[in-house]
Chains A and B, each alone.
Chain A
């Protein structure tokens, strides 16, 4: 089907949900959606379906009047109400297509709220523009990460023995894992955002608005005095690194999310260099275990064709990892626009799978991916829950990875980053491939030992 205009079965969603997710990674923060009530409701529902956790966020509840006269009054009232009743430390406001089109200026409104005395002493309002008609949910996440750095980081002139991690879009489990690795390396890191202990909160018999996790305000402020920033993910984490360099002259380097062997190597090398520490034996052993499994099971990966879809920062290192496993990523789709995706993918694929289909941005959607798969079938599909239609239609083994995953659990609790995360990915991939081999094996070659 030739298409010029429309998107069928999208491989992305809109900016505000990314900003909302990122904002939940600040301790005591209530995300605020400056737009119609539906936006906030949809984002909360989607995040709730993905995390099986209550997700708190407020909305300006736009009405017809607000959209004619501007949403300033709504937002100022909202800020006042929120601090009075929900008592957050921070309100992180993001815009929507509606408020952007009207031309509401979040910075100006936030300043007015402060001038009017609606922001109590020691409390904060931060803001990120997230027009839904630009980029994708990944862009919105990046914009909120940037806002955190820009609006909190302070340079006191002192340099602290700590390294910032401007965390790209990862699961709470992944953020927890990166903190564990840093601790193992004896590096003090300031990671923002940090959704661990927020969206994987334990059952306590209570419903709390502000779970214990998230980077705190003093920690966020101190990022301006850190000696280095490692930004993870050029789409979702880098804006934080750039902002810190600009505002506080903290040097930064962008690395891929540490998904797979080589991306984890690079990430940890950069971190160790920045912090001036050596990689400890315990981490080297983890690497060894991942490599051991990759070699032990090499025959089961070899030559298998893979289709994958999702967000650029996930797909770039994942594709590299699949190639290192001797698999063939043949179809790759991301709804998120951006030239750097094409460039990176080209570099990763050109030696081994130059014929791979890669598309991102407009019309890079699940419909296109399905067409590609019909033309050239694959042995494995990797992506978020929306892949299940294709997996079922085409009878393809399917590994859930990315956002959103609304039909399985595990992503909140078990990391996909680092060497241990790589091990989990390998296990998941092997699991579906070998289940398939068992299912399809003729009686005589149905094997006990694999």
Chain B
């Protein structure tokens, strides 16, 4: 096979696990190299994906049209009620606005929209050029908030001011301004907020149902199927549970320091991690043992029905190899465990935004020979998929067609999942999807497989 090169300057972001190797000196949390065909996005993207599921808020993108157009209803964050978040609002800035400033246009847009839709709050996203032309969006937001009596929140998400992670931070800053503005009356002691769960394909509903079955009150989910009024009173909960490490830990930490609410990091993917997410919460509320009893009963019931199903898949999937390239590294941990439970190994594990600890964790979990990458690109992904003979790639929208061109199975574990992959039922769905894709007869026709060509 012809050799595929790794971009010079990226060599410290790609490692292969080997025997006797010390801790990885991986150069992550850096900006991408200029000229790289990176799979990463920008600050705005980070803020937008975190906040957009708040369904009864107005989300207005302040900038030229593109940023609003590309993020119009692309994430499949489901709402059980209002669907204002599924519309696309933009100040659609023009040349004159760039020269003279867009504040007036933003103000007018906000007034028009708030009058029309009566939202519970409004989020104003700054895009790249807002950071350059110097619009004082804080002042506009303040003015409109006073006039209309709803929270109007600037989100400082200028695209170039960092990575997607900085966008998560900007989103958390905006949310933190909403938290604590409502009454906590009636919230009991055994209560939680679910953070970092975006209700893709209805996943938050599954998680919420589990906790409620354990006798726990869920005050707010942030932000899946999110409601402004719930977020306002979320400081009344006793515990925050945080999924999606990158996006929401900051909010949890701030709620801890301001309101004394402790937090737990969890994951809902795979049997092991899902069970742990329930047990950890039960342990936190150990003064009421019924909660742990309920958690155990729930896990027992779910696992006993799920396990035999997984065994059927395992027969065929045992020994198959997967490559994982996801946004946050925390998800990769869960996926490695979940695939392991049906006998699949992971030959590549990477993320767009992981940190040193994440990659060290990955190294510890993986077998020898596994490639660990930060901020990868299509050349590297193809190279390792071929060299390591992966049967499956797990990634997002830009990775899907690469897998298909190489003639291997694919599973979208990102915005475009169509069925819930979280929880016990999600684990079944996930493995079924992996099974359907990996075992599909179509791959035999791929010329590379030397089959029917």
* A and B from one complex: yes
Could you say which residues of chain B place their CB within 8 Å of the CB of A305?
Answer: none
Q: Does B264 contact A (CB under 8 A)?
A: no
User: In the complex where A98-B160, A205-B447 touch, is A81 in contact with B45 (Cβ < 8 A)?
Assistant: no
Query: A15 to B379, alpha carbons, bound, how many Å?
Result: 27
Query: A57 to B36, alpha carbons, bound, how many Å?
Result: 9
Question: Among residues 155 to 175 in chain B, which have CB atoms less than 8 Å away from a CB atom of chain A?
Answer: 159-163
A-B residue pairs, 9 tightest by C-beta: A205-B448, A38-B42, A14-B66, A78-B35, A81-B35, A36-B159, A6-B109, A13-B69, A132-B64
Could you say which residues of chain A place their CB within 8 Å of the CB of B106?
Answer: 5
Q: Does A14 contact B69, Cβ atoms closer than 8 Å?
A: yes
* Chain B residues within 8 Å of A, Cβ to Cβ: 5, 7-9, 31-45, 60, 63-72, 87-95, 97-98, 105-106, 108-109, 112-113, 116, 127-129, 131-133, 159-163, 378-379, 382, 397-398, 400-402, 404-407, 445-449
| Other A-B pairs, 4, CB within 8 Å; known A38-B42, A207-B402 | A5-B91, A60-B34, A84-B7, A209-B378
Query: A4 to B88, alpha carbons, bound, how many Å?
Result: 16
Could you say which residues of chain B place their CB within 8 Å of the CB of A59?
Answer: 32, 34-38
Query: A423 to B208, alpha carbons, bound, how many Å?
Result: 52
Query: A102 to B88, alpha carbons, bound, how many Å?
Result: 27
Query: A236 to B245, alpha carbons, bound, how many Å?
Result: 45
Could you say which residues of chain A place their CB within 8 Å of the CB of B162?
Answer: 63-64
Query: A131 to B95, alpha carbons, bound, how many Å?
Result: 9
Could you say which residues of chain A place their CB within 8 Å of the CB of B94?
Answer: 133-134, 362
Could you say which residues of chain B place their CB within 8 Å of the CB of A102?
Answer: 132
User: In the complex where A6-B92, A42-B70 touch, is A133 in contact with B98 (Cβ < 8 A)?
Assistant: yes
Query: A348 to B64, alpha carbons, bound, how many Å?
Result: 31
Q: Does A13 contact B70, Cβ atoms closer than 8 Å?
A: yes
**A interface residues, tally (CB under 8 Å):** 78
Q: Does B160 contact A44, Cβ atoms closer than 8 Å?
A: no
Q: Does A42 contact B66, Cβ atoms closer than 8 Å?
A: yes
The distance from the CB of B219 to the nearest CB of chain A, in whole angstroms, is 32
Query: A58 to B37, alpha carbons, bound, how many Å?
Result: 4
* Chain A residues within 8 Å of B, Cβ to Cβ: 1-10, 12-17, 30, 32, 35-46, 48-49, 52-64, 66-67, 74-75, 77-82, 84-86, 96-98, 101-102, 131-134, 136, 201, 203-207, 209, 335, 362, 386
Query: A59 to B94, alpha carbons, bound, how many Å?
Result: 24
Could you say which residues of chain B place their CB within 8 Å of the CB of A52?
Answer: 400-401, 404
Could you say which residues of chain B place their CB within 8 Å of the CB of A40?
Answer: 38
Q: Does A207 contact B32, Cβ atoms closer than 8 Å?
A: no
Query: A50 to B37, alpha carbons, bound, how many Å?
Result: 19
Could you say which residues of chain A place their CB within 8 Å of the CB of B449?
Answer: 205
Could you say which residues of chain B place their CB within 8 Å of the CB of A13?
Answer: 65-66, 69-70
User: In the complex where A38-B41, A41-B45, A97-B129 touch, is A60 in contact with B68 (Cβ < 8 A)?
Assistant: no
Q: Does A386 contact B66, Cβ atoms closer than 8 Å?
A: no
Query: A85 to B72, alpha carbons, bound, how many Å?
Result: 34
Q: Does B72 contact A335, Cβ atoms closer than 8 Å?
A: no
Could you say which residues of chain A place their CB within 8 Å of the CB of B398?
Answer: 41, 44-45, 48, 54-55
Q: Does B108 contact A207, Cβ atoms closer than 8 Å?
A: no
Could you say which residues of chain B place their CB within 8 Å of the CB of A10?
Answer: 65, 68-69, 72, 88, 90, 92
Q: Does A12 contact B41, Cβ atoms closer than 8 Å?
A: no
User: In the complex where A6-B92, A9-B72 touch, is A98 in contact with B379 (Cβ < 8 A)?
Assistant: no
Query: Pick the contact of B68 from A7, A62, A78 — CB < 8 Å?
Result: A7
Query: A102 to B132, alpha carbons, bound, how many Å?
Result: 8
Please list 9 pairs of residues, one from A and one from B, whose beta carbons are closer than 8 Å in the complex, sorted by A's number.
A6-B112, A14-B66, A15-B66, A40-B38, A52-B401, A52-B404, A59-B36, A85-B35, A97-B66
B445's nearest neighbour on chain A, judged by CB, is A203
Could you say which residues of chain A place their CB within 8 Å of the CB of B8?
Answer: 81, 84-85
Query: Pick the contact of A6 from B38, B64, B70, B89 — CB < 8 Å?
Result: B89
Q: Does A203 contact B40, Cβ atoms closer than 8 Å?
A: no
Q: Does B132 contact A67, Cβ atoms closer than 8 Å?
A: yes
Query: A30 to B40, alpha carbons, bound, how many Å?
Result: 17
Q: Does A48 contact B98, Cβ atoms closer than 8 Å?
A: no
User: In the complex where A8-B89, A133-B94, A203-B446 touch, is A75 in contact with B34 (Cβ < 8 A)?
Assistant: yes
Could you say which residues of chain B place their CB within 8 Å of the CB of A132?
Answer: 64-66
Q: Does B112 contact A61, Cβ atoms closer than 8 Å?
A: no
Query: A136 to B358, alpha carbons, bound, how many Å?
Result: 41
Q: Does A6 contact B34, Cβ atoms closer than 8 Å?
A: no
Q: Does B66 contact A56, Cβ atoms closer than 8 Å?
A: no
Query: Pick the contact of A8 from B45, B88, B400 — CB < 8 Å?
Result: B88
Q: Does A7 contact B89, Cβ atoms closer than 8 Å?
A: yes
Q: Does B35 contact A80, Cβ atoms closer than 8 Å?
A: yes
Q: Does A2 contact B112, Cβ atoms closer than 8 Å?
A: yes
Q: Does A133 contact B160, Cβ atoms closer than 8 Å?
A: no
The distance from the CB of A306 to the nearest CB of chain B, in whole angstroms, is 24
Q: Does A61 contact B34, Cβ atoms closer than 8 Å?
A: yes
Q: Does A97 contact B405, Cβ atoms closer than 8 Å?
A: no
Q: Does A205 contact B406, Cβ atoms closer than 8 Å?
A: yes
Could you say which residues of chain A place their CB within 8 Å of the CB of B7?
Answer: 81, 84-85
User: In the complex where A6-B112, A42-B41, A207-B378 touch, is A63 in contact with B160 (Cβ < 8 A)?
Assistant: yes
Query: Pick the contact of B33 from A42, A81, A97, A209 — CB < 8 Å?
Result: A81
A133's nearest neighbour on chain B, judged by CB, is B64
A132's nearest neighbour on chain B, judged by CB, is B64
Query: Pick the contact of A204 from B67, B129, B448 — CB < 8 Å?
Result: B448
Query: A5 to B105, alpha carbons, bound, how many Å?
Result: 6
Q: Does A57 contact B382, Cβ atoms closer than 8 Å?
A: no
Could you say which residues of chain A place their CB within 8 Å of the CB of B92?
Answer: 6-7, 10, 362
Query: A63 to B161, alpha carbons, bound, how many Å?
Result: 6
